[in-house]
Amino acid sequence: MTLPRPAFVPLGRTVATPAALAAVSPLDIAAALRRHTSGDWGEVDADDKAANDDALQSGERLLSAYRSAGGTTFWVMTEADRSVTTVLLPDEY
């Protein structure tokens, strides 16, 4: 039996914008949050991946990008103090 590993990234309070909730299914959001907390930054470029990896050590904001099953790109952003993680659409930032 394999025990679940602890979260890599603490999410804090998890929230989503109304637009993200309307455009992305709860299953896609849950999958993205699992990926984000494990350090899988999704569809960001190499520089952003490196910035996120550095941010884990320096305590800066983390930003991941994912695509829903329906093709909608959405972001998962964890604040620097790890108190809040927000699911949002790119045009909302």
Query: How do the domains of the chain map onto residue ranges?
Result: 15-92
- Of 34, 22, 37, give the one whose Cα is nearest residue 72: 22
pLDDT for 39 beyond 70: yes
Q: What single-letter amino acid sits at 71?
A: G
Token pair 């108190």 in the structure block, residue: 83
Q: What is the dihedral of CA 54, 14, 36, 41, to 10 degrees?
A: -60
Q: What single-letter amino acid sits at 81?
A: D
pLDDT tens profile 40-87:
999 999 999 999 999 988 999 999 999 999 999 999 999 999 999 999
